[in-house]
Amino acid sequence: MSLLKLEALSKRFGDCWALKEIDFSINEGEIVGLVGPNGAGKTTLVNLITGRHRPTSGRILFADQEITACKPHEIRRLGISRTFQSSRPFAKMTTLENVVLGRIFSKEFQLFTRQTDIDTAEQLLELVGIAHKARLPASDLTLSEQRRLDLARALANQPRLLLLDEVAAGFSPLAVKQAVELVRRVRQRGVTLCIVDHFLTLSLRVSDRLLALDHGEKVAEGRPQEVMRNRKVIRAYLGTRREEN
Amino acid sequence: MRKTGSGLQIDENFPLTKGALLLGFVFLLLLPVVARYSDYVLQVFTHALLLATLALAWNILGISGSISLGHAAFFGVGAYGSVLLSLELGISPWFTIPLGGLVATGFAVITALFCLRLRGGYFALATLAFVEIPKVITDNWDSLTRGSLGLLGLPGLPTLSLGSYHFDISASPVASYYFVLSYALLLICLVALIFRSNLGLALHAVRQEEAAAEAVGIQVQRYRLLSLLLSAFFTGIGGACYAHLIRYVEPSLVYGLHFSAIPMIFAICGGRFTVLGPPLAALVLYPIDQFIFHPLLPAGHEFLYGAIIILAILFMPSGFWGRLGKGHLVSAKTGSIE
């Protein structure tokens, strides 16, 4: 069953079509890699799904409900979370507070934080492996720890769909290996994942399917190995050979 | 920095703070006894306390990351709102003071319609311009406000009787002092509550990473609006108290730069994002200005504020209180909020 469905989704910024007529769907329980070179429209797609930008045309359906015109906080409440390309922790709050924030504003307003929310946040920090930094300011974390924090914060409202924007960019091979394990652990919790991945560091290892974009258009979709053999995808990443011109 | 229990806590790494705070509190409480023969000293501290409440109110907006250069608008609207209601309708100032706060909130709604979509310096400049609107209206609506002549002989706050003790709040400097002191303590508690609540947490989040705040489900504009309205409400109450205490209003006075700039200076010097920093700065800096610099330089004593804010921004951008870093109120359950 498809959890997220994009129908002829387009976004124009001024004269530039960032996305053109994208049709795609993500099934419940899947891990989908969203790949493509710089400027392909990957992050724009994430911004459209999460309500940060409004599509120029087309529709977005989440669990058979139209969410095209929903605001970011409504989408968060429906169960779609995201992380950011450059991780954006609340730098002057503690790591724990960051995760608590991910939880308390995705439901009805409470004036004060409850102990149960703090306990859940601590468990999530345990899951992503930075529980020992819970009471340090988020600005004290390393890059990979900040990404983990971003992930814990995104998981805090128990999302059904999680959009990871370049979660492993700039990671060492060891950190990538850990990230792969982490993504699998997240999937085991019943979360459907969409991984934006320019360099395919993660998506080739964990994805069930890939969606390849170039210049705002869908160039390929399917099993990772098939997509990687697709001529259009290779051309988008590497350019064309001289003799082909 | 693990904390247990709940409620407001002062960090234990700074052992002097609790004692120092207590000492300061006792000093404020007993000041009228010490200074009973000098109305001037009492008046200075009464005004310092009033400025402390304005700095507290300014800071409610401040933690959301917005800098207002136009809080005099709310101060003046609150003052005129309360004064005109009590003059025209004969309502007791006890009721018109909170109503003045509501009038100021009303003006904040208008400000928000036009300014809230702006950020940073653009927001600050827009608020600066918005002071002119109520000022020009007040200046020219002669039949109601008597324009730039101002209004004299306003109803003061009525006498409070407690057994055989009578506090004539407007006439006696001691009673005025205690009145403003009570309001200041009340507002400190309220602001501490706001900072510690999830509302405060949301405002901190909006300031630190607006995009991330939006992504975790915070309705950014709604919270920014709420902080502006709360800030305007308490600034308006401050203006109303001021008008009824000195029993005189005039546009150039209540809409003056003084009431826009000074609370901001105290908030920034004392430590934006802290509860006690802004009122503390008011209670230290204003008396220093009045007792030391005013006699030395009657015309230009306010240069002190210019110098202090430059020094503060250069050397302690998080303010005196923030610089001590350990004297702040911390969230008991989740570690520290700045």
Distance between CA A62 and CA A60 in Å, rounded?
Answer: 7
Measured between beta carbons, the chain A residues lying within 8 angstroms of B331 are: 97
Name the helix (H) or strand (E) containing B69: none
When CB atoms are compared, the residue of A84, A118, A156 closest to B212 is A84
Residue B201 to residue A97, Cβ atoms within 8 A: yes
Q: Which of helix, strand or coil describes residue A108?
A: coil
Please state, as a whole number, how many other Cβ atoms lie within 10 Å of the Cβ of residue A221. Answer: 17
pLDDT of residue B236: 97
Residue B214 to residue A73, Cβ atoms within 8 A: yes
Residue B91 lies in a domain: yes
Residue B337 lies in a domain: no
> Which tens digit of pLDDT belongs to each residue from B198-254?
999 999 999 999 999 999 999 999 999 999 999 999 999 999 999 998 888 999 889
Residue A73 to residue B2, Cβ atoms within 8 A: no
With beta carbons less than 8 A apart as the criterion, state whether A113 and B201 touch: yes
Distance between CA A192 and CA B106 in Å, rounded?
Answer: 46
Residue A90 to residue B1, Cβ atoms within 8 A: no
Q: Any idea what the CATH number is for the domain that residue B221 is in?
A: 1.10.3470
- Complex confidence, ipTM: 0.86
Residue B225 lies in a domain: yes
Of B241, B247, B232, the closest CA to residue B72 belongs to B232
pLDDT string in tens for chain A (245-residue length) = 789 999 999 999 998 999 999 999 999 999 999 998 888 899 999 999 999 999 999 999 999 999 999 999 999 999 999 998 888 899 888 899 999 999 999 888 888 888 888 999 999 999 999 999 988 888 889 888 999 999 999 999 999 999 999 888 878 888 888 889 999 999 999 999 999 988 888 888 899 999 999 999 999 899 988 888 888 888 888 777 666 55
Q: Which two tokens stand for residue A200?
A: 């395919």
Residue B335 lies in a domain: no
Q: Using CB atoms within 10 A of its CB, is residue B113 exposed (0-12), middle (13-18) or buried (19+)?
A: exposed
Angle at B316 between CA B312 and CA B318, to 5 degrees: 105
Q: How many domains, in total, are found in chain B?
A: 1
Distant-in-sequence, close-in-space partners of B84: CB < 8 Å, separation ≥ 6: B144, B145
Residue B196 lies in a domain: yes
Domain, as residue range, for B181: 9-330
Distant-in-sequence, close-in-space partners of B101: CB < 8 Å, separation ≥ 6: B78, B233, B234, B236, B237, B240
* Minimal-distance CA residue of chain B relative to A82: B215
Distant-in-sequence, close-in-space partners of A31: CB < 8 Å, separation ≥ 6: A183, A187, A192, A193, A194, A195, A206, A207, A208
Residue holding tokens 């960090």? B11
With beta carbons less than 8 A apart as the criterion, state whether B104 and B77 touch: yes
When CB atoms are compared, the residue of A76, A90, A118 closest to B209 is A90
Residue B334 to residue A82, Cβ atoms within 8 A: no
Q: Which of A83, A97, A149 to mutate to test the interface with B (most CBs of B within 10 A)?
A: A97
> Which tens digit of pLDDT belongs to each residue from B19-68?
788 888 889 888 888 877 788 899 999 999 999 999 999 999 999 999 99
A86 touching B, CB under 8 A? no
Residue B198 to residue A112, Cβ atoms within 8 A: yes
HSE at residue A30, side-chain half, CA atoms within 13 A, is 19
Please, what CATH class does the domain formed by A2-244 belong to?
alpha beta
When CB atoms are compared, the residue of B202, B216, B218 closest to A153 is B216
Distance between CA B214 and CA B202 in Å, rounded?
Answer: 10
Distance between CA A13 and CA A170 in Å, rounded?
Answer: 28
CB < 8 Å from B in window 94-153 of A = 94, 96-97, 100-102, 104-106, 109-113, 115, 118, 134-137, 153
A205 touching B, CB under 8 A? no
Q: Which two tokens stand for residue A10?
A: 């387009």
* Shortest distance, CA B200 to any CA of chain A (angstroms): 9
Residue A96 to residue B334, Cβ atoms within 8 A: yes
> Which tens digit of pLDDT belongs to each residue from A204-230?
889 999 999 999 999 989 998 888 888
